[in-house]
Amino acid sequence: MIYILTIISVAAIPIMISVILIHGMIKKVNLYDAFVEGASEGFKTAVRIMPYLIAIFLAIGVMRKSGAMELIISFMKAPMTLLGIPPEVLPLAIMRPISGSGALGVLQDILTHYGPDSFVGRVASTMMGSAETIFYTMAVYFGAVGIKYSRHTVPAALIAHFAAMIASVVICRIVFL
Amino acid sequence: MSIIWFSMIIFGMIVAIFNGKIEIINDVILQDAQEAVIFAIGLTGIMAVWLGLMNIAKKSGLIKAFALIMQPVTKLLFPKVPADHPAISAIMMNMVANMFGAGNSATALGIKAMEELQTLNKDKKAATNAMCMFLVINMSSIQLIPLTVLKLRGDAGSAAPTEIIATSFVATAVSTAVGIFVCKVLEGREG
């Protein structure tokens, strides 16, 4: 099962590309010209998102390197433990929506410290696999089109993230305990 | 976003002063700003590839056909977006790329989707309901195989690195469902 899933994963993008090219060929699209014409937009987009990326990287960098992240994590410890989230995985739960590479570092820490097959290790792995960085994604996607007011995106994304964290703990309790 | 950004930086600076690490600010300006630029440049190539392919698919009519097939699902999630609009195809392709862990391809397709959604937007500065919905689904990531997590578990000496695939999938499904529900509740009127 896992083996099949891995193959599908690796093959998905090549299949998408092949379908597009073959369909274009059948419909007699001038493939080469159409590709180059579309691709020329890529540079404009990259330049357009750059200032937004710099802004968000800067803010996240200051938070992480100043120790402000650790401070927030220690504040959140009591309420989160009440909800049944093991305190060991808290740093990950909080880091995950803010910084992807930061969260990977935290996960690595947890796995070496508690062992990947411990309950904490399994919960942490599940959390990592079920969540996504929020602020960075918002900066890139909204930045690319110049959206200034994100409306209900942040609350909805944070609630969904919170649900993922709780669900990770609950499902691991059911499966592994 | 302004308030979040401001709070993050000022709060970080204050903590840095208390920790006696004020020199990290210079470090951040140098390193992280550069990282952002490198990241954006790195995205250029894959962005160009997908925009090129999307342009072919647009001309061949594949995008319209694909969007029409997905109509039952997309009508529910994005009621304001016309069924045969190119945004729908970009959103769907972004989800497929996300599902299979092709992060950079997903980002490129996602930006394309946002650009298409923006063409339907009346107030170019405020996000539409469809944009919020798309982002929330995107951020609750529907990844079938979290390859980086598996690799980290393997490296840490796990006896069964893959045992978390099923649990991750369930947790993701829950968070996506919650995200869609919350979005629908908070949507209200568009500006």
Q: Helix, strand or coil for residue B170?
A: helix
Per-residue pLDDT, B3: 81
Q: Tell me which residue range forms the domain holding B163.
A: 61-191
Q: What percent of chain A has pLDDT over 90?
A: 33
A61 contacts A99 by C-beta, under 8 angstroms: no
Helix axes A41-66, A31-39, angle to 10 degrees: 40
Report the C-alpha gap between A39 and B52 in whole angstroms. Answer: 4
Asked whether residue B37 falls in the same domain as residue B107, the answer is no
Mean pLDDT of chain A: 87
Asked whether residue B73 falls in the same domain as residue B50, the answer is no
In 10 A of CB B64, how many CB atoms? 17
Per-residue pLDDT, B191: 47
Name the residue among A126, A149, A153 with its Cβ closest to that of B125. Answer: A149
Report the C-alpha gap between A124 and A120 in whole angstroms. Answer: 6
Asked whether residue B133 falls in the same domain as residue B174, the answer is yes
Q: Show me where the domains of chain A are located.
A: 1-39, 43-176
Report the C-alpha gap between A58 and B9 in whole angstroms. Answer: 8
Asked whether residue B54 falls in the same domain as residue B65, the answer is no
Per-residue pLDDT, B115: 92
Q: Do B156 and A121 touch (CB under 8 A)?
A: yes
Residues of B (108-167) whose Cβ lies below 8 Å from A: 108, 110-111, 114-115, 117-118, 124-127, 131-132, 135-136, 138-141, 143-149, 152-153, 156-167
Last residue of a domain, one of B22, B39, B60: B60
Asked whether residue B22 falls in the same domain as residue B90, the answer is no
Name the residue among B114, B161, B172 with its Cβ closest to that of A130. Answer: B172
Tens digit of pLDDT for each residue in A19-51?
999 999 999 999 999 999 989 888 888 888 888
Per-residue pLDDT, B141: 67
Q: Kindly report which listed range (A29-33, A71-75, B187-191) carries the lowest average pLDDT score.
A: B187-191
Asked whether residue B103 falls in the same domain as residue B80, the answer is yes
Amino acid at site B182: V
How many domains are there within chain B? 2
Residue B175 confidence class, pLDDT cut points 50, 70, 90: very high
Residue B142 confidence class, pLDDT cut points 50, 70, 90: low
Tens digit of pLDDT for each residue in B76-125?
899 989 988 889 989 988 888 887 777 778 888 999 999 999 999 999 99
Asked whether residue B137 falls in the same domain as residue B174, the answer is yes
pTM of structure: 0.85
Per-residue pLDDT for A6 more than 80?
A: no
Strand partners, B126: A149
Contacts A49 to B, Cβ<8 Å:
40, 43, 111
Last residue of a domain, one of B36, B60, B84: B60
Q: Do A155 and B124 touch (CB under 8 A)?
A: no
Q: What percent of chain B has pLDDT over 90?
A: 26
Would an 8 Å CB–CB cutoff place B69 in contact with chain A?
A: no
Would an 8 Å CB–CB cutoff place A79 in contact with chain B?
A: no
User: Which residue from A85, A145, A162, A95 is spatially nearest to B140, judged by alpha carbons?
Assistant: A162
